[in-house]
Structure 1
Amino acid sequence: MPNPSPSAPQEESLIVYPCSFPIKVMGLKHDLLLPTVTKIAHRHDPFFDAASVELRESSTGKYLGITITITATNRAQLDALYVELSGHELVKVVL
Structure 2
Amino acid sequence: MSETLLEFPCDFPLKVMGRKDPGFRELVVAMVEAHAGPVPENHVRLRDSRDGNFVALTVIVHARTQAQLDAIYTDLSAHDRVLMVL
Q: Is TM more than 0.5 here?
A: yes
Which has the larger helix fraction?
A: 2
Using structure 2 for the length normalisation, give the TM-score: 0.94
Using the alignment, how far apart are the partners of 1:47 and 1:30 within structure 2? Answer: 23
Q: What percentage of residue pairs aligned between the two structures are identical?
A: 37
* Paired amino acid for 2:64: T
Which has the larger share of strand?
A: 2
The answer to whether residue 39 in structure 2 is matched with residue 48 in structure 1 is yes
- Which runs of 5 or more residues in structure 1 are unaligned? 1-9
- Cα distance, 1:13 vs. partner? 1.5
CA RMSD, aligned part only?
1.0
Residue 64 in structure 1 maps to residue 55 in structure 2: yes
Report the TM-score when normalising by structure 1: 0.85
Deviation at 1:55, TM superposition (A): 0.7
Secondary structure at 2:4's aligned position in 1?
coil
Q: Which amino acid aligns with 1:85?
A: L
CA distance in 2, matches of 1:20, 1:53: 12
How many residue pairs get matched?
A: 86
* Runs of at least 5 residues in structure 2 that lack an aligned partner in the other structure: none
Structure number with larger C-alpha Rg: 1
After TM superposition, what 4+ stretches of structure 1 lie above 6 angstroms from structure 2?
none
